[in-house]
Structure 1
Amino acid sequence: MSIYLDVIWLLNFSFDLFLLVLTAIALKRKIMKIRIILAALLGSSIVIMMFSPLAFISTHPLGKMSISILMVLLAFGFKRFRYFFHGLFTFYFVTFLVGGGMIGVHYFLQAEITYLDGILMTNSTGFGHPISWLFVLIGFPVLWMFARNSLEGFEAKKIHYEQLVTVKIKVDSTQMTLKGLVDSGNQLFDPITRSPVMILDTQKVKDYIPEQLVHHALQDDVMKAMTDDQQEGHEWEHRVRIIPYRVVGKENQFLLGFKPDEVWIETNSEKIKVQKTIVGLNRTALSSEDEYQCIVHPKMLQGPSIQNVS
């Protein structure tokens, strides 16, 4: 049997890279591309070791554990022991989750099993059958996506939905600081970019937003207001988004919004940089007692935690 070492190494490098990215997503840590790639290169070096005098390291459990520890250290760094072990055990969990899923599906589908004199026999080789490699190439990305979506869904359920947070929105040189309510009932997404939509009380931020945009946002028929407007465009015109939504008893409702440059969320324990979002402008007041001025989409809290708030 021919062994294509470069192909095996590339597959292992790709798998290690995907598993480290999935670990970063589960931990809500910022993905440092160079560090993740270097860690994946370190992990895939185990394939090279198998054909060198260092083969004993790649086959011994302690050797494998040492390499995985170094991978986590290289990918996420070391701040304190709790931080490190949280990353290490999450990496193991993600690896067993994806790897176990692939093994289970493979043995569920494979038929290369025979019985000889009461002995169970399988046709397997050290580096896999071409069919099994094809299964790995197709099955791993599918299971990776499934695990990623499952972890994000699990993370969303962990969020304490009825909490107030501080929201900072930056557009060019304009910065707004607001109180926001994290609400699980807000499941609004931009249909084109699939960005989560947070809702702002337009009246509370009208001094920060172009007057023409405020006027359009406060109209019952947003589309008609924009079509009938004969004025020249405003400085945020390229940021404007129109988001369709549904209200009980009404159809074809639209919410006017804009794309910010940056959005930060501060909770009691951490500061989160939102990866992507659209800011929707609501026509009516969100809180009768002015406890909050915006409603935060729960997906926005799944961004990387940049720093802990002491």
Structure 2
Amino acid sequence: MIGELLVLYNTLFNYFLLKFTQEITGLYVKRSRLILSAFCSGLIASILHHSLIGAVISFVVLIGVAFSFKIETLMRQGTVLFIATFFLGGLLTSLLPFLLNQTDFIFFILCTSIAFLSLSAIHLKWRQMKQEKIQHSFVVDCELELFQKIYSLKGFIDTGNECVEPMSQKPVHFLSYKAVSKNLPDDFNEALQKWDAKDPYQLGMFPAYVYPKIRILTLSTVQKEKSTTIAFRFDRLKISGNTDKVLFDEYVVFTRNDARYPQDAQMILHVLAL
């Protein structure tokens, strides 16, 4: 009975480790193959658990059956699996004095829970870091020329922003009002404060030099709700960073709430800015 339990423990922990390695390295493998690999390795480890050679064979079989016996696989997936195994083994060893005081059933439940939760937490943190890295690659420096004034801003190219001005089909970008409000022309700033989305075509409050640059747009939110807003055609937008571009005569929409702008950006750029 002890031997069967040992095989079960090893198989279960091997499966957790393989699933973690698969998610981290992005290599798709069928679940049945992962289970087979976990069982074969667990069986070898249970039989040769006092042998260093047995541990090496078990590790190679675990990687090989799941992902293939190629050198490249052994290096890439094997490295991730080794680090995860080392971490999980150290964690369980440090908690062993507490775990040994439990019944066999509770011991099994606690060990598997610790393994699952710890690997899940690492995977979640890794995904967040990866997402942060990807987002950071879309951060650019912007020099916006609007109403004969130049603003230096931190921009973020949003691949989900496909908004365009209907008549010209030119891209629409989003600009944090808070980032530029103090430097906007006073007459324009006052007019912008008075403009009412409920009566969008009432534009008498804007100075004459703004009229040719105004467009009234209807935008859809992620929740499929429609809202009416006002856009302004800028003179020039210079983008510097991973991508270098100069854009002319496109549109910006001022936004009041920039708390959700990624990477603390002040301007959300259209996908075509890539």
- TM-score, normalised relative to structure 1: 0.45
| Larger fraction in helix | 2
- After TM superposition, the score normalised by the length of structure 2 is 0.50
